[in-house]
């Protein structure tokens, strides 16, 4: 497994070591000792989620606020997506910047998304199935989002805007400039690990 910090270094791309032969393939999707060493702190994943989406579906940009802030470890089981992560920590030198990674069942990449970041993806294949671990439980009352087409974010979703399918809820998300100060880059959001 290779752990590769991205342009925003808290976001980590994980490239697995895949063993192929005539029978198929094998690879480790998660190994806590290596993972925590790469992160530099403990993590306690408490929930696994899976979503299936059709071509051109965009989900995001989502996050949960404290005390239910979540880190995510995302991977694509089937298909291909453009995965996008936005730094929403006020005062961060990377505030409002994003990282975009194409992840697929072919490259088997994973992306670690820390607390204090918004996450979204758009499906580039006929359909896609994503699996992700989170380190805090889902809480509808703490669920928030940012507009996927916020001019300040300037995200290239790689699809024509008229082709993108998005939920009514995601169409109503606020802009980054109107978002309250939910996160601060100087706060350690992992000091409550069990």
Under a CB-based contact definition with an 8 Å cutoff, are residues 130 and 50 in contact? yes
Token digits of residue 124: 């580039």
Q: How far is it, in rounded angstroms, from Cα 138 to Cα 49? A: 10
Residues catalogued as catalytic: 62, 132
Ordered strands of the 47-54 beta sheet: 2-5, 12-15, 110-113, 72-78, 127-134, 47-54
Q: How far is it, in rounded angstroms, from Cα 88 to Cα 101? A: 18
Q: How far is it, in rounded angstroms, from Cα 112 to Cα 88? A: 15
Burial (0-12, 13-18, 19+ Cβ within 10 Å), 130: buried
Under a CB-based contact definition with an 8 Å cutoff, are residues 108 and 18 in contact? yes
């Amino acid at each position: 497994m290779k752990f590769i910090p991205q342009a925003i270094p808290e976001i980590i791309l994980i490239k697995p070591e895949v063993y192929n032969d005539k029978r198929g393939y094998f690879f480790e999707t998660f190994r806590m000792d290596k993972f925590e060493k790469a992160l530099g702190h403990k993590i306690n994943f408490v929930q696994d989620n899976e979503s299936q989406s059709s071509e051109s579906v965009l989900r995001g940009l989502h996050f949960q606020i404290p005390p239910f802030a979540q880190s995510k470890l995302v991977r694509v089981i089937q298909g291909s997506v453009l995965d996008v992560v936005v730094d929403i920590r006020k005062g961060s030198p990377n505030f409002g910047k994003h990282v975009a990674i194409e992840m697929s069942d072919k490259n088997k990449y994973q992306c670690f998304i820390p607390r204090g970041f918004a996450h979204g993806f758009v499906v580039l294949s006929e359909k896609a199935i994503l699996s992700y671990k989170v380190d805090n439980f889902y809480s509808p009352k703490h669920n928030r989002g940012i507009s996927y087409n916020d001019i300040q974010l300037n995200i290239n979703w790689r699809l024509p805007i008229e082709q993108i399918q998005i939920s009514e809820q995601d169409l109503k998300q606020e802009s980054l400039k109107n978002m309250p100060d939910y996160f601060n880059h100087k706060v350690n959001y992992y000091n409550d690990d069990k």
